[in-house]
Amino acid sequence: MVVDSRSRTRASIVESAAKLLREQGADAVTTRAVAQAAGMQAPTIYRFFEDKEALLDAVAEHVFATYVSSKTLAEDSGDPVADLRAGWDAHIDFGLTNAALFGLLIDPARGGGSPAAAAGLAVLQARVRRVAAIGRLRVPERRAVELIHAAGTGAVLTLLATPPQQRDPGLSAAMYDAVLRAILTDAPALPTGDATAAAVAFRAVAPQLTGLSDAERSLLAEWLDRAAGAV
Protein backbone atom coordinates (compact mmCIF):
# COMPACT_ATOMS: atom_id res chain seq x y z
CA MET A 1 0.00 0.00 0.00
CA VAL A 2 2.85 2.38 0.87
CA VAL A 3 4.60 1.46 -2.37
CA ASP A 4 1.44 2.11 -4.38
CA SER A 5 0.95 5.47 -2.68
CA ARG A 6 4.54 6.43 -3.39
CA SER A 7 4.18 5.36 -7.04
CA ARG A 8 1.01 7.41 -7.42
CA THR A 9 2.67 10.48 -5.91
CA ARG A 10 5.67 10.15 -8.20
CA ALA A 11 3.41 9.67 -11.22
CA SER A 12 1.45 12.78 -10.28
CA ILE A 13 4.65 14.81 -10.06
CA VAL A 14 5.90 13.57 -13.43
CA GLU A 15 2.57 14.15 -15.16
CA SER A 16 2.25 17.67 -13.72
CA ALA A 17 5.79 18.48 -14.81
CA ALA A 18 5.11 17.03 -18.27
CA LYS A 19 2.08 19.29 -18.67
CA LEU A 20 4.12 22.36 -17.70
CA LEU A 21 6.91 21.34 -20.06
CA ARG A 22 4.52 20.82 -22.94
CA GLU A 23 2.59 24.04 -22.43
CA GLN A 24 5.25 26.46 -21.18
CA GLY A 25 8.69 24.98 -21.86
CA ALA A 26 11.53 23.72 -19.68
CA ASP A 27 12.01 27.03 -17.84
CA ALA A 28 8.50 26.71 -16.39
CA VAL A 29 9.32 23.38 -14.73
CA THR A 30 10.33 24.71 -11.33
CA THR A 31 9.90 22.89 -8.05
CA ARG A 32 7.35 25.43 -6.86
CA ALA A 33 5.33 25.31 -10.09
CA VAL A 34 5.30 21.51 -10.27
CA ALA A 35 4.32 21.18 -6.61
CA GLN A 36 1.48 23.66 -7.06
CA ALA A 37 0.24 21.86 -10.18
CA ALA A 38 0.39 18.50 -8.40
CA GLY A 39 -1.33 19.84 -5.28
CA MET A 40 1.50 19.21 -2.83
CA GLN A 41 4.23 21.02 -0.93
CA ALA A 42 7.49 21.79 -2.74
CA PRO A 43 9.70 19.71 -0.36
CA THR A 44 7.77 16.62 -1.44
CA ILE A 45 9.37 16.85 -4.87
CA TYR A 46 12.82 16.29 -3.36
CA ARG A 47 11.73 13.00 -1.82
CA PHE A 48 11.55 11.64 -5.35
CA PHE A 49 13.97 13.72 -7.42
CA GLU A 50 17.37 15.09 -6.51
CA ASP A 51 16.96 18.24 -8.57
CA LYS A 52 15.18 19.78 -11.55
CA GLU A 53 17.42 17.96 -14.02
CA ALA A 54 16.49 14.59 -12.54
CA LEU A 55 12.82 15.54 -12.76
CA LEU A 56 13.19 16.59 -16.40
CA ASP A 57 14.91 13.30 -17.17
CA ALA A 58 12.00 11.40 -15.64
CA VAL A 59 9.49 13.49 -17.60
CA ALA A 60 11.31 12.90 -20.87
CA GLU A 61 11.47 9.17 -20.20
CA HIS A 62 7.78 8.98 -19.26
CA VAL A 63 6.43 10.89 -22.26
CA PHE A 64 8.73 9.29 -24.80
CA ALA A 65 8.12 5.79 -23.40
CA THR A 66 4.37 6.31 -23.86
CA TYR A 67 4.95 7.42 -27.43
CA VAL A 68 7.27 4.49 -28.22
CA SER A 69 4.76 2.07 -26.73
CA SER A 70 2.11 3.30 -29.15
CA LYS A 71 4.56 2.78 -32.04
CA THR A 72 5.42 -0.72 -30.85
CA LEU A 73 1.76 -1.71 -30.65
CA ALA A 74 0.94 -0.33 -34.10
CA GLU A 75 -0.20 -3.11 -36.41
CA ASP A 76 1.92 -4.22 -39.34
CA SER A 77 0.03 -3.12 -42.46
CA GLY A 78 1.71 -5.76 -44.61
CA ASP A 79 3.59 -3.09 -46.56
CA PRO A 80 7.01 -2.50 -44.92
CA VAL A 81 7.70 0.61 -46.99
CA ALA A 82 4.36 2.17 -46.04
CA ASP A 83 4.98 1.31 -42.38
CA LEU A 84 8.36 3.03 -42.59
CA ARG A 85 6.68 6.19 -43.90
CA ALA A 86 4.04 6.03 -41.16
CA GLY A 87 6.82 5.86 -38.57
CA TRP A 88 8.52 8.90 -40.10
CA ASP A 89 5.30 10.93 -40.06
CA ALA A 90 4.65 9.96 -36.44
CA HIS A 91 8.18 10.99 -35.46
CA ILE A 92 7.87 14.41 -37.12
CA ASP A 93 4.46 14.98 -35.54
CA PHE A 94 5.76 13.98 -32.10
CA GLY A 95 8.71 16.37 -32.37
CA LEU A 96 6.57 19.32 -33.46
CA THR A 97 3.93 18.62 -30.82
CA ASN A 98 6.47 18.18 -28.02
CA ALA A 99 9.08 20.81 -28.89
CA ALA A 100 10.56 21.26 -25.40
CA LEU A 101 10.66 17.53 -24.74
CA PHE A 102 12.24 16.86 -28.13
CA GLY A 103 14.98 19.31 -27.24
CA LEU A 104 15.69 17.38 -24.05
CA LEU A 105 15.77 14.03 -25.82
CA ILE A 106 18.37 15.06 -28.40
CA ASP A 107 20.56 17.10 -26.04
CA PRO A 108 23.94 15.26 -25.91
CA ALA A 109 24.69 16.87 -22.55
CA ARG A 110 21.84 14.89 -20.98
CA GLY A 111 23.39 11.57 -21.92
CA GLY A 112 22.28 8.86 -24.32
CA GLY A 113 21.22 6.13 -21.93
CA SER A 114 17.45 6.53 -22.19
CA PRO A 115 15.66 3.15 -22.26
CA ALA A 116 12.77 4.77 -24.12
CA ALA A 117 15.09 6.24 -26.74
CA ALA A 118 16.74 2.84 -27.18
CA ALA A 119 13.31 1.23 -27.56
CA GLY A 120 12.33 3.84 -30.13
CA LEU A 121 15.47 3.13 -32.14
CA ALA A 122 14.69 -0.58 -31.94
CA VAL A 123 11.27 0.06 -33.51
CA LEU A 124 12.94 1.89 -36.40
CA GLN A 125 15.51 -0.89 -36.79
CA ALA A 126 12.74 -3.49 -36.96
CA ARG A 127 10.88 -1.54 -39.63
CA VAL A 128 14.04 -1.11 -41.69
CA ARG A 129 14.75 -4.83 -41.37
CA ARG A 130 11.31 -5.66 -42.79
CA VAL A 131 12.08 -3.42 -45.77
CA ALA A 132 15.42 -5.19 -46.21
CA ALA A 133 13.74 -8.59 -46.08
CA ILE A 134 11.64 -7.85 -49.18
CA GLY A 135 14.70 -6.77 -51.15
CA ARG A 136 13.98 -3.04 -51.24
CA LEU A 137 17.05 -1.82 -49.35
CA ARG A 138 20.08 -0.78 -51.40
CA VAL A 139 22.29 0.04 -48.40
CA PRO A 140 23.14 -1.88 -45.21
CA GLU A 141 20.46 -1.72 -42.51
CA ARG A 142 22.63 0.29 -40.14
CA ARG A 143 23.27 2.96 -42.75
CA ALA A 144 19.55 3.17 -43.54
CA VAL A 145 18.63 3.53 -39.86
CA GLU A 146 21.23 6.24 -39.31
CA LEU A 147 20.15 8.19 -42.39
CA ILE A 148 16.48 8.08 -41.42
CA HIS A 149 17.20 9.00 -37.80
CA ALA A 150 19.51 11.88 -38.73
CA ALA A 151 17.15 13.23 -41.37
CA GLY A 152 14.13 13.03 -39.07
CA THR A 153 15.91 14.83 -36.26
CA GLY A 154 17.17 17.50 -38.64
CA ALA A 155 13.75 18.02 -40.17
CA VAL A 156 12.12 18.52 -36.76
CA LEU A 157 14.82 20.94 -35.59
CA THR A 158 14.58 22.98 -38.80
CA LEU A 159 10.81 23.24 -38.53
CA LEU A 160 10.93 24.12 -34.84
CA ALA A 161 13.45 26.88 -35.56
CA THR A 162 11.03 28.44 -38.05
CA PRO A 163 7.97 30.44 -36.91
CA PRO A 164 4.86 28.25 -37.42
CA GLN A 165 3.34 30.59 -39.98
CA GLN A 166 6.53 30.49 -42.06
CA ARG A 167 7.14 26.75 -42.05
CA ASP A 168 7.28 24.89 -45.35
CA PRO A 169 4.56 22.21 -45.07
CA GLY A 170 6.34 20.11 -47.67
CA LEU A 171 9.78 20.11 -46.05
CA SER A 172 9.33 16.89 -44.10
CA ALA A 173 7.98 14.98 -47.11
CA ALA A 174 10.77 16.28 -49.35
CA MET A 175 13.40 15.24 -46.80
CA TYR A 176 11.88 11.77 -46.53
CA ASP A 177 11.72 11.34 -50.30
CA ALA A 178 15.39 12.29 -50.54
CA VAL A 179 16.29 9.65 -47.94
CA LEU A 180 14.20 7.03 -49.74
CA ARG A 181 16.03 7.68 -52.99
CA ALA A 182 19.28 7.02 -51.16
CA ILE A 183 18.26 3.81 -49.40
CA LEU A 184 15.61 2.05 -51.52
CA THR A 185 15.70 0.15 -54.78
CA ASP A 186 13.05 0.89 -57.38
CA ALA A 187 11.96 -2.71 -57.82
CA PRO A 188 9.03 -3.98 -55.73
CA ALA A 189 10.66 -7.37 -55.17
CA LEU A 190 14.11 -8.91 -54.99
CA PRO A 191 16.05 -7.40 -57.90
CA THR A 192 17.83 -9.99 -60.04
CA GLY A 193 20.65 -7.66 -61.03
CA ASP A 194 21.33 -5.89 -57.75
CA ALA A 195 23.72 -8.05 -55.71
CA THR A 196 23.95 -5.50 -52.88
CA ALA A 197 20.19 -5.39 -52.36
CA ALA A 198 20.04 -9.17 -52.45
CA ALA A 199 22.81 -9.42 -49.85
CA VAL A 200 21.05 -6.91 -47.59
CA ALA A 201 17.78 -8.84 -47.92
CA PHE A 202 19.44 -12.17 -47.15
CA ARG A 203 21.25 -10.59 -44.17
CA ALA A 204 17.90 -9.51 -42.73
CA VAL A 205 16.58 -13.08 -42.61
CA ALA A 206 19.86 -14.90 -41.91
CA PRO A 207 19.24 -15.02 -38.10
CA GLN A 208 16.13 -17.14 -38.81
CA LEU A 209 18.14 -19.95 -40.42
CA THR A 210 17.80 -22.37 -37.52
CA GLY A 211 19.42 -25.19 -39.48
CA LEU A 212 22.78 -23.49 -39.03
CA SER A 213 24.85 -23.38 -35.86
CA ASP A 214 25.49 -20.10 -34.07
CA ALA A 215 29.02 -20.04 -35.48
CA GLU A 216 27.76 -20.68 -39.01
CA ARG A 217 25.14 -17.95 -38.76
CA SER A 218 27.78 -15.56 -37.44
CA LEU A 219 30.12 -16.37 -40.34
CA LEU A 220 27.29 -16.02 -42.87
CA ALA A 221 26.34 -12.65 -41.39
CA GLU A 222 29.95 -11.50 -41.71
CA TRP A 223 30.08 -12.51 -45.38
CA LEU A 224 26.78 -10.81 -46.14
CA ASP A 225 27.84 -7.63 -44.35
CA ARG A 226 30.94 -7.55 -46.52
CA ALA A 227 28.91 -8.14 -49.67
CA ALA A 228 26.56 -5.32 -48.70
CA GLY A 229 29.44 -2.98 -47.94
CA ALA A 230 28.71 -2.75 -44.20
CA VAL A 231 32.27 -3.61 -43.18
User: In this predicted model, what pLDDT tens digit does every residue of 97-134 receive, in sequence order?
Assistant: 888 888 888 877 765 567 777 888 888 999 999 999 88
User: In this predicted model, what pLDDT tens digit does every residue of 28-42 receive, in sequence order?
Assistant: 888 889 999 999 998
Transcribe 59-87 into DSSP letters: HHHHHHHHHHHHHHHSPP-S-HHHHHHHH
In this prediction, residue 53 has a pLDDT band, given cuts at 50, 70 and 90, of confident
Q: Which of 2-16, 176-190, 207-221 is least confident?
A: 207-221
In this prediction, residue 158 has a pLDDT band, given cuts at 50, 70 and 90, of very high
Q: Are 172 and 154 in contact (CB under 8 A)?
A: no
Q: Which of helix, strand or coil describes residue 147?
A: helix
* pTM listed for this prediction: 0.70
Please tell me the predicted confidence (pLDDT) of residue 1. Answer: 46
Reduced to 3 DSSP states, what percent helix, strand and coil does the chain have, rounded to the nearest 5?
A: 75, 0, 25
Please tell me the predicted confidence (pLDDT) of residue 171. Answer: 96
Query: Mean pLDDT over residues 75-81, rounded?
Result: 84
